[in-house]
Each structure stands twice: as C-alpha cells, then as structure tokens.
C-alpha cells in the first residue's frame, strides 16, 4: 500500500512511519518543527517538509495514497491555550483541508482525535455513543474536526486516543506518565497536581502504533469513531504506581508530592470494546512496563531538552521568529547576516 502520514515526524508519527515502512510505501508530510528522527528507516520513507495547509489536489494525485493517516496538529492544552487561533488552524482547518481532499479523491482517512472531547464525566466508562462535552481550546478543536469529518468524509476512521505514554525517537516528557516518571527519576519526587482525583485513560505509543497498523492493513474496519486506551486510572493512582516502580528500579526513596488544589477540568474513563472487536489488537504495555522502559530512555537523553516539551519548544520558536524577523537569517555555513562585534 501507499500510505501518506501527516505529522509523520511527531511523537506518534515517527514510530508509525518506521513500522509501516517495513511493508508499505510511506510518505511523511511534516515540516520538521521538532526535527526528524527516523533513524535507519529514513531511506525507506519519502519526506515532504511542508505544512498540511499547503497540501493540494495535485499533491494527492501525484502521491496516489491508498490511505491518509492524519496525525498533524497541536497536541495538548498548553499549546492550544498559548495560541488559540493557531490551534484552531492546525487542528480544525488543517483537518478540513486534508479531509476535503481525501474525500474528493476517494481516499480513506484515519484521524488522530483525542478522548479529551468527553470533558468531565465521572459516572462510568464512556462509549463512542456518549455525547462529547469538550472543555478548552484543544478539545473543542478536536471535537469540531471530528464533526466535520463525520459529515463530509464517508470513509473516515476516527480514533479517540487516551493520553499517550512511553518512549519514541521523537520523545515527549510533557505527558502524564512520561512527565511524572521523569520527575521521579531526576528529582526523587513524583508531583501530582489538583489532588490527582481526575481519571485519565492511557495507551502506550507502540500499542497505539499497532492499532493504526491493524486498521490500515485489515481493510475491513467500518468508518466511525473508536476509543483507544489500555487503562483508565485516577491520576493519583498512576503516580503512586510510578513512585513504587521507581523505588524498585532506582533502589532509593521516591516521594509522592501532592498539590491538593481542586479543579474541574477533564476526567473520564473509556470503554474500548468496539476497537477490540474490530481488529486483533491486544495492548502489551501497562504502567509498570512503561516506567521500566522510560527509565532506560532517561539515561540516554537530556531530560531538559526543550524539544521534549511541546509548549517550551513552541515558545522558543516564537521568540526566535520575532528575533530573526528583526535581524534577518543567520547563516553559520559562511557569510552571515550577523557579524560579531566587540
């Protein structure tokens, strides 16, 4: 198959493109805002370093994809709150562009949505039939993108993903389990905000990749919405499990530090029977296995690298853009727009 992956150099997109490239013809459509981390698979993956908004009908006719996997977009609340208009453009308007072209040319689309669209729901695990109640710019943009696809693309498969965890070559340490594990590993304390009362579903990035691959290769998954998660736990219970596992691994005390300030933001558990019935998908990674993996990863990377934190990197790029707008480009290969002065 020919598969086009938008956001193919992202946290999920990188391992997905690598896995798909072993059996399929893969094009990654990604401008490389966080760099490209495809490793030895780079020679097997065609790279289009452009924004999704630049995609045209002619591009798709040239690429002739059998599937489009649409991962590109803003990916959490801090990013969306930092730039609400840009968040809408990247999550809703870009989806309209990609989805519209895919529908026009009859290409099925697999869309990465978010379980955050459910909002604050604490009564029972939620199914895909439950109404959405998005809270905040991020989940509102994802809910709007879902609605648009359901109305305009008859062959769209939408995955409402739980919070993703685990190691990727394009690493993120600003996610729930990843961030708390990093804090405990580096500082000896797992920090929990808002009392940790909220319930969050989670899924390991490689289990999520497996779900994508199964859907793409099965060719039989009906269009519609699917919840994707491995576990649904209270944040305080996730933190306690991480601290316990770190004590075993590190052989030293790891404290649990809880800020008991209340809030009512997002809390929901997911029912995942629908996707488990649609594909032969059996998740392999729980919190224990993920923490073990993350500890190995943290010994090999700089945990303070701003590229591991979406909002930090976005702020730095925004600041650099403003500076370069004043001083011009910097060419370190030879002549430069900036000359050193004493």
Q: What is the pLDDT of residue 245?
A: 96
Q: What are the helix and strand counts (H, E) for the chain?
A: 12, 12
How many angstroms separate the CA atoms of 235 and 256, rounded?
12
pLDDT for 265 equals 81
CB contact at 8 A, 281 and 211:
yes
Question: What's the confidence (pLDDT) of residue 261?
Answer: 83
pLDDT of residue 339: 45
SS3 per-residue string spanning 213-232: HHHHHHCCCCCEEEEECCEE
Q: E strands, the chain, where?
A: 2-6, 25-29, 45-48, 67-70, 109-114, 156-161, 163-165, 189-192, 199-204, 224-228, 231-234, 255-258
- H-helix or E-strand spanning residue 202: strand 199-204
Q: What is the pLDDT of residues 153-189, one digit of tens each?
A: 999 999 999 999 999 999 999 999 999 999 999 999 9
Domain ranges for the chain, please list them: 2-170+202-231+265-285
Query: In Å, how far from its chain's centre is CA 146?
Result: 16
**Could you give the CA distance from residue 100 to residue 85 in angstroms, rounded to a whole number?**
21
Q: What is the model's pLDDT at position 334?
A: 62
Q: How far is CA 258 from CA 179, 261, 290, 291, in A?
A: 15, 9, 22, 20
Report pLDDT for 341.
38
Q: Using CA atoms, how far apart are residues 144 and 141, in angstroms rounded to an integer?
A: 5
Residues lower than pLDDT 50 in the chain? 336-342
Q: Is the separation of the CB atoms in 294 and 173 below 8 Å?
A: no
Question: May I ask the CATH class of domain 2-170+202-231+265-285?
Answer: alpha beta
Q: What is the largest CA-CA distance in the chain?
A: 69
Are 38 and 62 a contacting pair, CB within 8 Å?
Answer: no
Cross-strand bridge partners of residue 148: none
Please tell me the predicted confidence (pLDDT) of residue 230.
Answer: 96
Report DSSP state, residue 120.
Answer: B
CB atoms within 10 A of CB 136: 16
What is the pLDDT at residue 338? Answer: 47
pLDDT of residue 262: 78
H or E, element range at 176:
helix 176-187
**Residue pair 52/97 in contact by the 8 Å Cβ criterion:** yes
CB 73 within 8 A of CB 91: yes
Nearest-angstrom CA–CA distance, 128 and 115: 10
Rg of the chain, C-alpha, whole Å: 20
Parallel, antiparallel or unpaired: strands 67-70 and 156-161:
unpaired
What is the structure's pLDDT at 199?
95
């Amino acid at each position: 198959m020919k598969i086009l992956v938008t956001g193919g150099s992202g946290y999920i997109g990188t391992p997905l493109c690598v896995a798909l490239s072993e059996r399929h013809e893969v094009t990654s459509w990604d401008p490389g805002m966080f760099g490209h981390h495809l490793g030895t698979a780079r020679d097997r993956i065609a790279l289009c370093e452009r924004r999704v908004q630049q995609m045209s009908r002619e591009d798709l006719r040239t690429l002739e994809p059998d599937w489009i996997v649409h991962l590109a977009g803003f990916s959490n609340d801090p990013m969306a709150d930092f730039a609400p208009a840009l968040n809408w453009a990247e999550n809703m308007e870009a989806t309209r562009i990609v989805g519209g072209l895919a529908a026009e040319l009859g290409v099925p689309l697999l869309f990465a949505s978010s379980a955050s669209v459910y909002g604050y729901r604490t009564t029972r695990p939620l199914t895909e039939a439950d109404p959405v109640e998005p809270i905040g710019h991020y989940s509102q943009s994802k809910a709007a993108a879902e609605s648009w696809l359901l109305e305009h693309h008859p062959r769209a498969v939408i995955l409402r993903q739980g919070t993703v965890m685990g190691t990727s070559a394009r690493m993120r340490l600003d996610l729930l389990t990843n961030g708390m594990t990093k804090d405990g590993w580096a500082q000896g304390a797992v920090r929990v905000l808002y009392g940790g009362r909220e319930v969050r579903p989670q899924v390991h990035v490689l289990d999520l990749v497996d779900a994508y691959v199964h859907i793409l290769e099965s060719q039989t998954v009906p269009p519609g919405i699917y919840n994707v998660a491995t576990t649904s736990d209270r944040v305080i219970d996730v933190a306690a499990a991480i601290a316990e596992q770190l004590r075993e691994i590190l052989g030293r005390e790891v404290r649990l530090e809880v800020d008991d300030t209340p809030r009512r933001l997002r809390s929901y558990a997911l029912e995942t029977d629908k996707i488990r019935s649609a594909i032969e998908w059996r998740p392999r990674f729980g919190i224990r296995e993920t923490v073990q993996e993350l500890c190995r990863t943290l010994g090999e990377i700089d945990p303070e690298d701003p590229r591991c934190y979406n909002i930090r990197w976005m702020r730095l790029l925004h600041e650099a853009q403003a500076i370069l707008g004043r001083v011009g480009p910097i060419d370190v290969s030879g002549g430069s727009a900036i000359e050193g002065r004493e």
